[in-house]
């Protein structure tokens, strides 16, 4: 038997790597994107441009669209490996997260139409591994819109949004009730201790459940750890909602510090403890840093916005997660988490608008009036 191979069969498919990013100075505000296209480890294109006033998510999608469009002009049959630090874009384009907002669906469709979707794969990378695309996005912004516009948007846009008819997604964060570790201020992360609620913690959970029932949330989500599970079960019993457990709402991991007091950590790990006090980038004892948690929590908030536009969502989670969410909502410096503390079974509420992702802190650690 003889086999004839045409010239087309001898041509290997080209493979491009695309890293893309986008940014908005004001969210929404003056926005731009950056994209880097490489082949066999060599950069073949740097793309960047301003897109007017838009949100971070729109800018990120715009960077992806620009990169895929360019690659399609180079080779319509090429395979593309996309790497981005936007968990939202990666998960939505991979089909694992729903896209309920109409504007985001349009952008996603444009990206799928730009190059055959079957030839494109997506992966998430840490922000520091996407620095090239990020620099290009900032280069576009520095040469584009005036900085004065960003200041105006930052100061005034929330007032305009509050006057609009669009319903925000309301996120009601509930910190779990007291455990045996809480009064002692011991590190309590995702370690093997996984403490249950004390009798006081169960009473706190029953009380906050009555308050959440008054809010009438549409969705109840919780970290799967024992203390948040028990708190969520109290809320479920009062509201009739089914609990959706999601590990993305886990507390930070404190590694081998888990279960120790501050004084014990200071004595056993003096240098590491000082590093942790001095920087939100430090990960204690092989655990998770606040900077790493902030990326995870922001992605989790964007997931809620994508899947539950205009709805009320109750999330039962942990102190470190709630502090990170507030820091994200306020565009606060990363070390802001060291200057706040959520009380057990308190409620913290944040509004997020589906059309543009604007965030607003509505309350923090509310508990005193319903003790």
Phi then psi dihedrals of residue 280, to 5 deg: -75, -5
Among 176, 272, 298, 318, the one annotated catalytic:
176
Nearest C-alpha neighbor of 311 from the set 357, 252, 354: 354
Among 60, 211, 233, 251, the one annotated catalytic:
251
How many CB atoms neighbour CB 303 within 10 A?
20
Q: Is 251 a catalytic residue?
A: yes
Q: Report yes or no: 169 and 352 within 8 Å, Cβ to Cβ.
A: yes
- Residue 359 β-bridge partners: 352
Phi then psi dihedrals of residue 226, to 5 deg: -60, -45
Nearest C-alpha neighbor of 332 from the set 371, 298, 284, 296: 298
Q: Is 115 a catalytic residue?
A: no
194: cis peptide before it, omega within 30°? Answer: no
Three-class DSSP category at 156: helix
- Could you give the residue ranges of the DSSP H alpha helices within 127-184? 131-142, 147-162
Which residues are known to be catalytic? 176, 251
């Amino acid at each position: 038997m003889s086999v004839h191979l045409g010239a087309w069969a001898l041509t290997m498919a080209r493979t491009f790597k695309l890293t893309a990013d986008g940014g908005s100075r004001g969210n929404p505000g003056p926005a731009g994107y950056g994209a880097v296209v490489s082949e066999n480890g060599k950069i073949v294109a740097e793309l960047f441009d301003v897109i007017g006033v838009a949100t971070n998510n729109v800018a990120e999608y715009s960077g992806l669209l620009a990169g895929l469009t360019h690659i399609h002009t180079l080779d319509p049959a090429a395979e593309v490996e996309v790497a981005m630090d936007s968990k939202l874009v990666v998960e939505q384009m991979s089909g694992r997260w729903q896209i309920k907002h109409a504007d985001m669906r349009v952008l996603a469709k444009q990206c799928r139409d730009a190059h055959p979707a079957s030839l494109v794969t997506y992966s998430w990378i840490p922000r520091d591994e996407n620095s090239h695309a990020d620099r290009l996005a900032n280069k576009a912004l520095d040469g584009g819109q005036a900085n004065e516009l960003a200041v105006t948007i930052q100061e005034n846009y929330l007032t305009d949004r509050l006057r609009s008819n669009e319903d925000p997604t309301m996120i009601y964060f509930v910190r779990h009730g007291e455990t045996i570790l809480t009064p002692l201020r011991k590190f309590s992360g995702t370690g093997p201790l996984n403490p249950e609620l004390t009798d006081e913690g169960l009473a706190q959970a029953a009380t906050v459940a009555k308050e959440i029932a008054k809010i009438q949330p549409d969705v109840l989500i919780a970290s799967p750890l024992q203390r948040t599970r028990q708190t969520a079960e109290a809320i479920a019993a009062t509201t009739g909602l089914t609990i959706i457990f999601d590990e993305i709402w886990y507390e930070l991991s404190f590694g081998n510090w888990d279960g120790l007091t501050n004084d014990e950590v200071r004595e056993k790990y003096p240098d590491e403890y000082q590093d942790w006090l001095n920087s939100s980038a430090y990960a204690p004892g092989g655990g998770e840093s606040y900077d790493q948690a902030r990326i995870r929590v922001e992605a989790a908030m964007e997931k809620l916005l994508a899947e539950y536009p205009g709805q009320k969502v109750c999330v039962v989670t942990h102190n470190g997660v709630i502090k990170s969410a507030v820091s994200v909502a306020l565009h606060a410096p990363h070390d802001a988490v060291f200057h706040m503390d959520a009380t057990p079974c308190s409620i913290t509420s944040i509004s997020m608008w589906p059309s543009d992702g604007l965030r607003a802190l509505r309350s923090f650690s509310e508990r005193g009036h319903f003790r």
